[in-house]
């Protein structure tokens, strides 16, 4: 039980999937974050255990080399279904181009889950990683909105300030690095 809790905390706070994925940097504006946060959380929640189960099945059949060929079409269908579900739940905030971002996020979660040994740790990665993704997307969106209202020197506006903000945010999340040691085993 403690392994499950440590893996949950570790996935949500330590090994956060947003700050390590360059594909998510495109969706950091407020309108997109309202859709990318819940959709990314859902795909991480579903892709991690599904990827682990597919990996375990292929290993028992001695077909582990077919992992990406089987999982990528499955991940594409999962990303499309999650985007359709989120659009159905919130039609006023539809973002039709989130599909490729969801596939990248799901691929990262799937590859992380593949290295774990127990289903409980994979489920904790899915839950904690999804909630952590949503948390960081929301925090970074709020930070960028505050920066747009601040008096920032002209040379630091845009990408330089975004990189400063991402660096400070990653340092803040590194403070939790001792909490997630158990799931890295």
Q: What pLDDT, in 10s, does the model give residues 120-175?
A: 888 888 888 888 888 888 887 788 778 878 888 888 777 778 778 888 888 877 77
Q: What is the pLDDT of residue 61?
A: 92
State what percent of residues in the chain have pLDDT above 70.
76
Task: Tell me if 128 sits within 8 A of 100, measured CB to CB.
Answer: no
In three-state form (DSSP H/G/I as H, E/B as E, the rest C), the secondary structure along 36-83 is: HHHHHHHHHHHHHHHHHHHHHHHHHCCCHHHHHHHHHHHHHHHHHHHH
Q: What is the mean pLDDT of residues 114-121?
A: 85
**What does the angle CA 123 – CA 125 – CA 130 come to, to the nearest 5 degrees?**
105
pLDDT of the residue at 152: 82
Task: Say how far apart CA 127 and CA 140 lie, in whole Å.
Answer: 20
Assess whether pLDDT exceeds 60 at residue 21: no
Backbone angles phi, psi at 83, to 5 degrees: -65, -40
User: For residue range 37-80, what is the model confidence (pLDDT) as tens digits?
Assistant: 788 888 888 888 988 888 889 889 998 888 888 888 888 888 88
The C-alpha atoms of residue 129 and residue 112 are separated, in whole angstroms, by: 10
Is the overall model pTM greater than 0.75, yes or no? no
């Amino acid at each position: 039980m403690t392994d499950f809790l440590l893996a949950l905390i570790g996935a949500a706070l330590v090994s956060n999937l947003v700050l390590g994925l360059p594909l998510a940097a495109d969706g950091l504006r407020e309108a997109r974050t309202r859709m990318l946060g819940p959709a990314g959380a859902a795909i991480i929640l579903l892709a991690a255990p599904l990827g682990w189960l597919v990996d375990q099945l292929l290993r028992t059949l001695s077909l582990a080399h077919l992992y990406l060929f089987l999982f990528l079409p499955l991940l594409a269908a999962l990303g499309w279904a999650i985007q359709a579900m989120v659009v159905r739940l919130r039609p006023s905030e539809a973002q039709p181009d989130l599909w490729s971002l969801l596939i990248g996020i799901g691929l990262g979660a799937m590859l992380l889950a593949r290295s774990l040994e127990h289903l409980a740790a994979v489920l904790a990665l899915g839950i904690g990683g999804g909630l952590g993704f949503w948390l960081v997307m929301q925090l970074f969106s709020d930070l960028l909105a505050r920066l747009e209202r601040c008096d920032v020197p002209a040379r630091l506006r845009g990408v330089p300030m975004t990189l400063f903000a991402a660096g400070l945010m990653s340092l803040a999340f590194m403070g939790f690095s001792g909490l997630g040691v158990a799931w890295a085993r």
